[in-house]
Every structure is written in structure tokens, then in C-alpha cells.
Structure 1
Amino acid sequence: MKPLNSTEALTLVKECITEIVPDADFTGVRPDDKFRDVLELDSLDFLTLVERLAARTGARIDEDDYPELATLADTVHFLVARTGQGVR
């Protein structure tokens, strides 16, 4: 598992979301917005996102972790911590 910094984690999250929702427009998504609502990701889209993030990072993401993936900022922080950097 390669440690990610905040920039790498944000890029990865956006790439994975774009693979699921090709026309996703991040210009209106602030770091603390609940991106599922803003980008209209349904439950299946979110589960697909979790699977892709886990596969691409090697990080284990359990259902108990889902609340930590509510916003872009939260998701970035989670991935940075889970991949070993431990800092924002």
C-alpha cells in the first residue's frame, strides 16, 4: 500500500467518482459538502466508489467507515490516514 498525501488522495477520489459518474462536475462541490448529495450518487454508486478506492489504495474500508467518507475532505483525510501518512 502506497502512502497517499492529501493531493494524491483528492485526485484519486475525483478519478474514481468520474469513472462512476462520467459527467460529475466538481466545481460546485466544496470540501465539506456531502458529495453524494451534490453529485447525486445513489447507494450503488457509493458502494462502487468504496470498492474502487479500496482496490486502488489497498486500504480496507468497512461499512463502519462509511460515515467517514461523507465529504471530500473527510474522504481525503480517511485515505491519507489509512494508507499510512497519518497527516492531513
Structure 2
Amino acid sequence: MNRTDALNVVKESIARAVPDADLATLGPDEAFRDALEMDSLDFLTYIEFLGERTGMRIDDEDTPQLTTLSSSADFLVAHVK
């Protein structure tokens, strides 16, 4: 998976978890959980959609790497074949 594809998957997963999220105003290194006012259930839903979309298992210890658009995309590039 290349970085552009990974970033698209991240944005699609966030949009599915928080349908009214305005991703256009979100910076690449901004913590989107705070910026989009995601509660823990929204964040868990995002992680589940991300796992579904990529076919990979995402463990609890991976979630700190999935808090910005940029770090989430980097994680996917590194872990998805």
C-alpha cells in the first residue's frame, strides 16, 4: 500500500466512524480525536473500520500510532502488504 492509498483509507474510515466530520480542516499532524471530538466509541469504530478495510488486525498497543492522519497512514504503509 502506498502513502496516498493509506491516507485515503484513513480518511474513509474516519468518515464512516464520524459521518459529520470535516476532514478538510484537519491538518496531517493534528490529533484528530480531539479535533473531531471523537469519543472512545467513535475511535474504536474508526479502528474497526481501518482493520476491516485493510484486512489486518489492529491491537490495542497499535492505537497510539493511529491518532493523526500522517501517523495512521505511516502505520498502514509499514504494516499492510
Helix, strand or coil: the match of 1:32? coil
Instruction: Write the distance in 1 (CA, Å) between the matches of 2:23 and 2:46.
Output: 15
Q: Structure 2 counterpart of 1:46, which letter? A: F
TM-score (normalised: structure 1): 0.86
Instruction: Write the distance in 2 (CA, Å) between the matches of 1:29 and 1:41.
Output: 13
Structure number, greater radius of gyration? 1
Instruction: Write the distance in 1 (CA, Å) between the matches of 2:59 and 2:19.
Output: 25
Instruction: Write the distance in 2 (CA, Å) between the matches of 1:31 and 1:8.
Output: 15
Note the 1:12-31 alignment, pairs <5 A: 12-31=9-28
Q: How many residues align?
A: 81
Note the 1:58-73 alignment, pairs <5 A: 58-73=55-70
Instruction: Write the distance in 2 (CA, Å) between the matches of 1:28 and 1:56.
Output: 24
Deviation at 1:43, TM superposition (A): 0.4
Helix, strand or coil: the match of 2:9? helix
Name whichever structure is richer in helix by fraction: 2
Q: Structure 1 counterpart of 2:45, which letter? A: T
Q: Percent of counterpart pairs with the same letter?
A: 54
Q: Report the equivalent of 2:38.
A: 41
Unaligned runs of 5+ in 2: none
Q: Which of 20, 30, 49 is the aligned partner of 1:52? A: 49
Structure 1 stretches of 4+ with a deviation exceeding 2 A read: none
